[in-house]
Structure 1
Amino acid sequence: MNKEVKRMARVLIAMCLLFTSLIVYLSYFQIFTAPKIKNNSFNKRLWIDEENILRGMILDRNGKTLAYSEKTEDSTIRHYNYGSLYSHIIGYSYRDYGKSGLELTYNNELLNLKESTTLKEISKIIKPDGEGNNIKLTLDHELQEIARNSLKGKKGSIVAMNPQNGEIYAMVSQPDFDPNTMKQNWQSIVENPDSPFLNRATSGLYAPGSIFKVVTAVAGLENPNVSKSYDCKGSFTVEGYTLEDYGGKAHGKLGLEEALVKSCNSYFAQLGLQVGRQELGGVSERFMMNKDIPFDLPVKASKFAHGEELKKTDIAASSIGQGKTLVTPLNMAMVASAIGNEGNMVKPILVKEILSSKGHLIKLNDTETISQVTDPLIANQVKNMMVEVVKRGTGTNASIGDIRVAGKTGTAENPTGKSHAWFIGFAPADEPKIAISVILESDGTTGGKTAAPIARQIMIEGLNRIK
């Protein structure tokens, strides 16, 4: 009898373990895996409702139609009115190739779908027809066109945004592709070594070069015990490794402002070593490096290595935006925005409103502060230094008449052998309405020579167009 009881007990325990394992698996699947499968661009269930619901329109901030759907006798056709101009933002929606961009992120909103229940599934069978919602973006169509044209076929990216409310006015990545002709050109796009599908604004990771000195400057000001004076000899050697200043020029005795104005590598390398790995890393993370940036599109996290033991050479290189430091153009536009916004970094917004097919407001995306990068006093100190950069330093090509412009140039070495040209900044400096980041990928030029004039043009157009 005892043997029988023990056998039954073992069976019961085994069944309980199996049942518990099933509950754990289903819970894990429901919480972590199911949403990924549901939103996968190749999930065929995403297409069931497409046959009966007219997909909503995508509009710019002024109501200009950027994408819309049209029903024919045999199917529904999605039209992208401006071809490649919004390919990395709106993306595409094709049964054969899946979805990308906002077409994927806002699929349920564009089809006016909510969490499905049995009753809702039955109602779809009874009444299958319907219209999706429209989404209105923060982008300005004319500024988007100007930004794309200003790249003139170069590889790179431009991000222009409002520093105070986070609205993205223009976001361009080159090269791009035309979603209207994807079926004909799919193979050539996929095989293109320049990666037209890559959204460089949100997913391109680049060495920032000297634009990172803005972050190092904040770290230096937050540490009053570090020396702000330095005698530049044209290079700085640490542990046998020498960092050169641009052209090997010796800047002589200078403080933090003059070092930023002249973009002195030696100064910022030794400043970073004084501040130290942990402090510099902590400031970087307040600027959202090594963190996920909340946005309407997927964003790769910028990287600043400080959670590991670094050599002094690594810290020195990272302090001037080289070494293991990598950033996205979107993140650097947010860095400039935070300095201009008294140290408050706001969440970037691409989709402003969700509207019903009748034009009624369903949802409004509000401004949200996601990080206090530093206190207002230090932010304003760095801002004034950036004004001097544009007024009399490496960023003079970004100056705009009697408007005070704040900015920082960057020329970043990278494995291609040709330097990236960078500019970040904002205007007007005292009450900024537009912040910008520009990168010309492997352009082989300096940021002051090529990226700054582009930033100037976009800032002028943005200030004139957007009120």
Structure 2
Amino acid sequence: MLIFIILIFLLLIGYLTYFVIFKSDEVLQNPYNKRLWAYEEDVTRGSVSDRRGVVLAYSDRQKRIYEYGRLYCHVIGYNSKTYGKAGIESKYNTLLLGKGDWTEVFNLAGDNKAGYDLTLTLDHRLQRYAYDKLGNRNGSVVVINANTGEVLALVSKPDFDPSDNALVKKWTELVESDKAPLLPRATSGLYPPGSVFKIITATSAIEQGFDNDEYTDTGSVTIGDTTFFNYGKKANGEIDLTKAFALSSNYAFCTLGTRLTSATLRETAQRFGFDKTFDFDINFSKSVFPKKDTDAAGSAALAIGQGTTLATPLQMALTTCAIANEGIIMSPYIVQSAVNKNGTTVYEKKPEQLFKPITPETANQIKDMMIETVKTGTAKGAQIRNVSVAGKTGTAENELLEKEDNKEHTWFVGFASVNKTQIVVCVMLEYSGGSGGELCAPIARDILKQYISY
């Protein structure tokens, strides 16, 4: 009998230890956990600061203050008794409450009454600048240090006031709005990538030995029952792959798509992160490449970023990071560290590799194509005097074009070397009409110039 009681006791201790180590975070982050809210009444929630020490969020007598209002609503998120938590407030709830270390194995409530303070990788100056550059347009900006994975700016519009009072007043309007202001477009918006996907198609072409092919671009190409046109139906004449990339020739890339097939494009896209999930500091949507093989016309559409391929701006920024960083995608992150009230670091993120989709040699070939695109192609709007900028533009068809003209999504992805650091920028404008070269490239250029000025 005694042995049985001891066994039950050990099993109970083992379960409690397992629960605290492996399940406590899940319980702590559950917005419906009433015990958690009771605990929070006695805790001063930790602050959130940018990489230079600018305080972005803090608590005053249990009231959460967002110093810059809407500017970080899709990153820091919100902390509401009524509507729960989102963003960093949700993912790092444990640390913000001063919990989460091994001392809690036998102390579930904890004695700490002060949360840990978080430092982000974001640069407030760059975040504000990118936010202002978007203006009243819906879309997003992602800026990443390709060498480390540090996210330097992350902006989505439309936005909202994350304060608890504003959420209570506006929640129904926010949820029912057809503009979906609660959606963090930079990380969870899924869009046809258009011609920025040609980075991946060009990668496949190089790997399959098609990089020396030449094309007589007549402005359109018919594959099966589908005719594909260049932007503006422009005929580019005799071109090689580099020129086809720089001019964003749908003729050349649709032709490539039929040779590569959807299966090859899928395998390449998945190496860059399509159809994959990974650990990130805020929730994000998985970018998707269609799972079923398609016919020649379908492969042609996929090669130019159309069809049913969908990507987040974060995904296309990471794809560009591989080109900027010699074929390696570093794991992106926003939270740099956490310290307790004594100044002791209790959490610190170290850069780590996420994917290695391509060789350095292939990355450098694509880089040269992207530099040529800015010099002589569709991305001339991204040029910066005395700075080598690499880029790719995109203009993507979508469902609204069946009803209205001039509703294309527009894209730009690119990078520049700043003091031996590769800074990647992705700009995406939703239903903007026009072209990525006209609308998005100048925004990216100005953001890069702003970063260089620091």
TM-score normalised by length of structure 1:
0.88
Q: Helix, strand or coil: the match of 2:300?
A: helix
* Distance in 2 between residues matched to 1:359 and 1:149, nearest whole Å: 34
Paired residue type of 1:428 = S
Q: Does 1:155 align with 2:144?
A: no
* Distance in 2 between residues matched to 1:119 and 1:364, nearest whole Å: 24
Distance 1:226 1:406, change over 3 A: closer
* Distance in 2 between residues matched to 1:172 and 1:152, nearest whole Å: 11
Note the C-alpha offset of 1:34. Answer: 8.5
Q: Give the alignment partner of residue 421 of structure 1, picking from 401, 404, 410.
A: 410
Indicate the residue corresponding to 2:5 in structure 1.
Answer: none
* Distance in 2 between residues matched to 1:38 and 1:363, nearest whole Å: 18
Identity between Structure 1 and Structure 2 (%): 40
Distance 1:215 1:48, change over 3 A: same
Indicate the residue corresponding to 1:338 in structure 2.
Answer: 322
Note the C-alpha offset of 1:309. Answer: 2.7
Paired residue type of 2:89 = E
Indicate the residue corresponding to 1:238 in structure 2.
Answer: 223
Distance 1:343 1:429, change over 3 A: farther
Indicate the residue corresponding to 2:12 in structure 1.
Answer: none
Q: Give the alignment partner of residue 446 of structure 1, picking from 427, 435, 445.
A: 435
Paired residue type of 2:425 = I
- Give the 5 Å matches for 1:69-148: 69-71=59-61, 76-114=62-100, 119-121=106-108, 124=110, 130-148=113-131
Q: Give the alignment partner of residue 178 of structure 1, picking from 161, 164, 183.
A: 161
* Distance in 2 between residues matched to 1:344 and 1:388, nearest whole Å: 22
Indicate the residue corresponding to 2:251 in structure 1.
Answer: 266
Note the C-alpha offset of 1:347. Answer: 0.6
Distance 1:172 1:226, change over 3 A: closer
Paired residue type of 2:202 = A
Paired residue type of 2:353 = T
Note the C-alpha offset of 1:36. Answer: 5.2
* Distance in 2 between residues matched to 1:268 and 1:464, nearest whole Å: 37
Q: Does 1:396 align with 2:372?
A: no
Note the C-alpha offset of 1:58. Answer: 0.3
Gapped runs of 5+ residues in structure 2? 1-14, 402-406
Q: Helix, strand or coil: the match of 1:276?
A: helix
> What CA deviation, in whole Å up to 9, does each residue of 1:135-176 have, x standing for no partner?
100000011011111011100000001010011110000000
* Distance in 2 between residues matched to 1:41 and 1:267, nearest whole Å: 52
Q: Give the alignment partner of residue 436 of structure 1, picking from 419, 422, 425.
A: 425
Distance 1:33 1:394, change over 3 A: same
Distance 1:450 1:215, change over 3 A: same
Aligned length: 430
Indicate the residue corresponding to 1:61 in structure 2.
Answer: 51
Contact 1:226 1:271 in 2 (8 A): no
Q: Does 1:203 align with 2:192?
A: no
Distance 1:432 1:390, change over 3 A: farther
> What CA deviation, in whole Å up to 9, does each residue of 1:307-360 have, x standing for no partner?
313122211101000011110001111111110101101111100111112322
Q: Does 1:40 align with 2:40?
A: no
* Distance in 2 between residues matched to 1:45 and 1:462, nearest whole Å: 44
- Give the 5 Å matches for 1:269-288: 269-288=254-273
Distance 1:314 1:430, change over 3 A: farther
* Distance in 2 between residues matched to 1:194 and 1:235, nearest whole Å: 35
Q: Helix, strand or coil: the match of 2:438?
A: helix
* Distance in 2 between residues matched to 1:430 and 1:405, nearest whole Å: 14
Indicate the residue corresponding to 2:233 in structure 1.
Answer: 248
Distance 1:170 1:404, change over 3 A: same
Q: Helix, strand or coil: the match of 1:448?
A: helix
> What CA deviation, in whole Å up to 9, does each residue of 1:389-431 have, x standing for no partner?
0011100000000100000000111112210110000002994
Note the C-alpha offset of 1:282. Answer: 1.0
* Distance in 2 between residues matched to 1:238 and 1:36, nearest whole Å: 51
Paired residue type of 2:395 = T
Indicate the residue corresponding to 2:275 in structure 1.
Answer: 290
Q: Give the alignment partner of residue 406 of structure 1, picking from 390, 394, 397.
A: 390
* Distance in 2 between residues matched to 1:392 and 1:340, nearest whole Å: 20
* Distance in 2 between residues matched to 1:340 and 1:172, nearest whole Å: 21
> What CA deviation, in whole Å up to 9, does each residue of 1:105-154 have, x standing for no partner?
00000011127968414x65xx5x61010110000001101111101110
Contact 1:340 1:430 in 2 (8 A): no
Q: Give the alignment partner of residue 374 of structure 1, picking from 358, 364, 369.
A: 358
Contact 1:41 1:100 in 2 (8 A): no
Paired residue type of 1:448 = G
Contact 2:262 2:302 in 1 (8 A): no
Q: Helix, strand or coil: the match of 2:451?
A: helix
Q: Helix, strand or coil: the match of 1:354?
A: strand
> What CA deviation, in whole Å up to 9, does each residue of 1:56-111 have, x standing for no partner?
0000000111000112xxxx111110000000001111111111111010000001
* Distance in 1 between residues matched to 2:374 and 2:211, nearest whole Å: 26
Q: Helix, strand or coil: the match of 2:428?
A: strand
Q: Give the alignment partner of residue 345 of structure 2, picking from 361, 370, 379.
A: 361
Distance 1:137 1:118, change over 3 A: closer
Note the C-alpha offset of 1:46. Answer: 2.8
Q: Does 1:300 align with 2:285?
A: yes
Q: Name the stretch that deviates more: 80-89 or 244-253.
A: 244-253
Contact 2:409 2:430 in 1 (8 A): yes
> What CA deviation, in whole Å up to 9, does each residue of 1:376-398 have, x standing for no partner?
11100110110010011100000
Contact 2:254 2:304 in 1 (8 A): yes
Paired residue type of 1:458 = I
* Distance in 1 between residues matched to 2:96 and 2:67, nearest whole Å: 17
Q: Name the stretch that deviates more: 353-362 or 447-456.
A: 353-362
Note the C-alpha offset of 1:48. Answer: 2.6
Q: Helix, strand or coil: the match of 2:155?
A: strand
Q: Give the alignment partner of residue 351 of structure 1, picking from 330, 335, 339.
A: 335
Paired residue type of 1:333 = A
Whose radius of gyration is greater, 1 or 2? Answer: 1
* Distance in 1 between residues matched to 2:367 and 2:413, nearest whole Å: 12
